[in-house]
Chain A
Amino acid sequence: MKIIRKTLTATLLCTALLSSGCAGDSKNQTADTSAVSASESTVSASESADSSQAENHAVTENTSSDSQNSQESDQSVSENSNNETPDPKANESESSELYAMDTVMSLTAYGSHAREALDSASAEIQRLDKLFSISSETGDIYRVNRDGEGDLSEDTRSLLASALEYGKDTNGIFDCTIEPVMEAWGFTTKNYRIPSDSELAELLSHVDASTVTLSGNHVTLPEDVKLDLGGIAKGFTSARVMEVFKNSGVTSGIISLGGNVQTLGTKPDEKLWRVGIQDPNDLNAMFAVVEVSDEAVITSGAYQRYFEENGVHYHHIIDPRTGYPAESGLTSVTIISPDGTLADALSTSLFIMGPDDASAFWQNHRDKFEAIMMTENGEVLVTSGLADRCKVTNGGKVRVIS
């Protein structure tokens, strides 16, 4: 009987483990079975902060009827707000792929108005790309950097105002004048090199967003100070695409602007959108899945753009306090927020802050966003607002911040 009891116990334990889902998965299993594979980010210099490729535009159009036959989810669903006559094409999606802001973007919208929404969104993305690019001669930022001052269009003014606000909120950690330092490292030109300490010190003397004056729609820059809104432009753009979708009558859609994901509503079957987060330690896998509606999911990671010299890894998230790539103890920071612009700015900022300051920052702004962070030793930090809709899949240690 003793043997039977032992065997029964072992069997029950085994069954329990099998039914526990991802929480107990080993890393190898995740790597083997995850559908996430290496992308551009697996290699150095995968992206340029320079949104200079406004002309690079190609659109792929796909139409599909999404049967949404995935398994039952126990998630609560948010309500789709339309109470009008049901859209006969509510479950049909259309997708576009385009190249802008020096990355590939994929847009998907559902319903009868999907195609016109995608066309309008593509046009808007290209317009904003030209406006915000540091190298587009017809754009606001190029002109202001050249002249040291100038009037801005409403979109650029709004984006710059947000950038300056986030600069204040983060005590200067988010700095939209960091461009000369980024250029010195070669992250905007792809001519990678390690600047000397003296060169960085000289450049840092011109890095201070608090010296930028924005009065109405007129901006004035001190001498040698340059603006670059690349660290926030994609988040702003994704938020704008959501507005375009809504104005076109679309209530369900998802876009990825080079990995910056933003969602509109829920899926047509009212389930939440499922967004995977790439594992910085295994670029063929993801380490978490988060379920969202009407939110942006934006990640900054040390693995996204970098170069190596003499065996040392230099990544593109520069700490404006030192001029060097941030060594904060974090390898990935994902921000989830209804505000795409905020999510874009804060993913970078919290990465630079490091786990302790980032956690404290969230505690002071918990009504604005949620976060998932991975530390250098593989621990995953999840803010408490995500506890019921985030699944850590790599089997690593998880700590909930509350």
Chain B
Amino acid sequence: MRKKTNLLITLALAVLCIGLLGAWMILRQKGNSQNLAEIVYQGELIRTVDLSSVKETETFTVGEPGAQNTIQISPDGIGVIEADCRDQICVKQGIRSHGPEPIVCLPHKLSIRFKDSTESSDRSEGTDDNQALDAVTGR
């Protein structure tokens, strides 16, 4: 009888522990809750994409040949997959779905910024400890 009670208590505590772990992991995942991408070209917001609702891959170009970027939106995120700029830095930044720093093509003045639709400020981003980050240094 005592053995059975012990076993039940052990199981209950184990379930509690797993529950706590699960809740913690869910809370931490909220740090990546940014789901909007804003595409800004030549100083103008040209498109806002809800990345959480993207089901199919879409590709489109921004700008004219000589100053052109090809942007891809997919369930994996958004990025510049082709550009005729000299340094190709925007292309090398890859496909991303979140981040406090934007994808930037300096020569063409194109930037893609990530934000959380629940946030009213475009500079606050989720972090690993679930508090807002106001900026990132070290780029």
Contact = CB atoms under 8 A, between A and B. Distances in A.
Interface of A: 1, 3-4, 7-8, 10-11, 14-15, 18, 21-22, 25, 29-30, 32-43, 45-46, 53, 56, 58-60, 62, 64-68, 70-71, 73, 93, 95, 97, 99, 102-104, 106, 108, 190, 254, 256, 258-261, 263, 267, 273-278, 280, 284, 286, 289, 297-299, 301, 304, 332, 334, 391, 393
Contacts of A254: 123, 134-135
B43 interface: yes
A256 B135 contact: yes
A393 B89 contact: no
Given A45-B89, A261-B137, 14 more contacts: A33-B28, A33-B128, A35-B98, A43-B89, A60-B43, A67-B121, A97-B111, A99-B106, A256-B137, A258-B139, A260-B137, A274-B134, A276-B135, A297-B135
Contacts of A38: 93-94, 96, 99
B130 interface: yes
A29 B94 contact: no
A276 B93 contact: no
A99 B16 CA distance: 52
A22 B16 CA distance: 22
B13, B24, B138, B139: residue with the most chain A Cβ atoms closer than 10 Å = B138
B132 interface: yes
B13 A70 contact: no
Nearest to B96: A37
Nearest to A8: B13
A21 B129 contact: yes
B130 A71 contact: yes
Interface string B83-125: 0001111001110101111111010010100100000111111
B129 A18 contact: no
A104 B136 contact: no
B22 to A, nearest CB: 11
A53 B139 CA distance: 19
B93 to A, nearest CB: 6
Given A10-B17, A38-B93, A97-B111, A274 B131 contact: yes
Given A18-B20, A267-B134, A45 B104 contact: no
B128 A66 contact: no
B59 interface: no
Interface string B22-53: 00100011011010000010111100000000
Contact of A58 (B16, B32, B109, B124): B109
B135 A261 contact: yes
A15 B13 contact: no
Give the 10 A-B CB pairs with smallest separation, nearest first: A37-B99, A259-B139, A278-B138, A58-B43, A43-B92, A39-B101, A299-B138, A66-B121, A70-B132, A276-B136
B128 A277 contact: no
Contacts of A97: 40, 43, 111
A64 B122 contact: yes
A29 B122 contact: no
B34 A35 contact: yes
Contact of A18 (B24, B87, B89, B122): B24
Contact of B32 (A35, A260, A391): A35
B121 A277 contact: no
Given A18-B20, A18-B21, A46 B89 contact: yes
B112 to A, nearest CB: 11
Interface in B5-20: 6, 9-10, 13-14, 16-17, 20
A34 B139 contact: no
A56 to B, nearest CB: 7
B29 to A, nearest CB: 6
Given A34-B127, A95-B122, A254-B123, A275 B137 contact: yes
Nearest to A22: B129
B31 A35 contact: yes
Contact of A29 (B28, B100, B106): B28
A65 B137 CA distance: 24
Given A42-B92, A60-B40, A36 B135 contact: no
